[in-house]
Amino acid sequence: MALTMIRLLCFAALMSFPGLEGHDHSGLLGHSDRSAKKGQTTGSFTVTVTNKLANTVVSYPANADGMPMFGVLNKLQDTTDFTFTYSVHNSYGIFLESVNGLAGSTVNKTYWELLSKKGKKTTRLDVGIGCYQPNKNEVFIMNFTSWA
Q: In 10 A of CB 113, how many CB atoms? A: 18
Global pTM reads: 0.73
pLDDT of 65:
79
pLDDT of 42:
59
Split at pLDDT 50, 70, 90, the class of 12 is very low
Between 54 and 64, name the one with better pLDDT. 54
Give the C-alpha separation, 45 to 98, whole Å.
Answer: 21
| Percent of the chain with pLDDT strictly greater than 70 | 72
Give the C-alpha separation, 39 to 42, whole Å.
Answer: 9
Q: Answer for the pair 12, 91: CB distance below 8 angstroms, yes or no.
A: no
pLDDT of 104:
95
Distance of CA 134 to the CA centre of its chain: 9
Write out pLDDT tens, residues 16-42.
343 443 333 333 323 333 333 444 445
What are phi and psi for residue 110, nearest 5 degrees? -120, 155
* Domains of the chain, start order: 2-19+41-146 (2.170.130.30)
Residue type, 10: C
DSSP structural state of residue 135:
-
Q: What does the pLDDT average to over 31-60? A: 72
pLDDT of 47:
97
Sheet containing strand 121-124, edge to edge, reads 56-63, 44-51, 139-146, 110-118, 121-124
Q: Which residues of 67-95 are buried (b: 16+ CB within 10 A; e: fewer)?
A: bbbbbbbbbbbeeeebebebeeeeeebbb
